[in-house]
Structure 1
Amino acid sequence: MQNNSNIKRMVTWALLTNMLILVGLGNGTGFMVIVEAILIPLLLNDTFYFSLSDTYAQLLPTAALLSLIGQVLMIISLFRQSKLSQALLIVPGLLCCYGGLLYLTINAGHNNEALTGMITAVPFVCVSALLLYNITSNYAYKLDEFLQGSERYHLPD
């Protein structure tokens, strides 16, 4: 059970470091969690779309949405008791958070705001890399049984 609490602690740190990535907001900076809170009215007004060739301010809502989806998946994994179901929620959650980070920092070479986001994302990248390593080293046999089709994991017909 110690490994499970270690995984939960690392998920919590990954969540916190992802929420605290600095992003440019108008004439200042703010945390990703603020942009995620602002995101809901944007979704309701239909001013939300995907495009990689836009400005930083237009890329920000999409990055926040991907990050929010990943955070929700990781929060749900904290309440799962099964190690396999935890791992099957954490990995896609981290991938969504990485997608949001990539979307946010796609123009880091041309934009100081995106560069700031990339630099402040270093703690998240380190924690999430440790988390992925811990998951794969501890749960690899369970994932292999699931993918191989062990009778224990078969879905009822």
Structure 2
Amino acid sequence: MQISPSPSPVSPPISPPDHITHEVQGSFLQWAPLLLIVLGVLSGIVDIKVSIDAHDQEQTQVALQRLRLQRPSAQPQPSPTVPPSEMISSIICTYRIEKPEAAAVAVESGGDCAICLEDFKYGDECRIFVSCNHGFHRACVDEWLVRNRHCPLCRGSVRGLRSANVDDQV
């Protein structure tokens, strides 16, 4: 029988020298406050950004609710194609340019429509304001009066004046 050598005792794990352990711990402790400060600042920046975004979203929702309350209905209202009657009553006359004499009236008021910038031609229906004597194509001025309450040239008020139709008087 052969005798086998006895197993050697297990040696304890090799640990780093104490001075290396103290250096690593000391280095971590030296940088830990700076690391905590940086993390705190970054956390604060993210928190502020989230708060601002939440506030902006809330303000947007409030603004949208105000807009919904201001609109009387969800259906868009068709815009009127004819100006209100008080606007029409402020026009002194409606006429059709048919004769050279009528063209002279158009030339006196400038020769062209200040709204569409086209010359008055024979056969055009025109309107003239009472207060300022400015003339325009009928279709142009009717569309203008739907949105505005003044003469396109002089900005004079065109409300509450009498009207006449030259074609009816001739």
If you compute each CA radius of gyration, which structure gives the higher value, 1 or 2? 2
Q: Which has the higher helix share?
A: 1
Q: Is the shorter-chain TM-score for this pair beyond 0.5, marking a shared fold?
A: no
Q: Which has the higher strand share?
A: 2
How high is the TM-score relative to the length of structure 1? 0.22
How high is the TM-score relative to the length of structure 2? 0.20
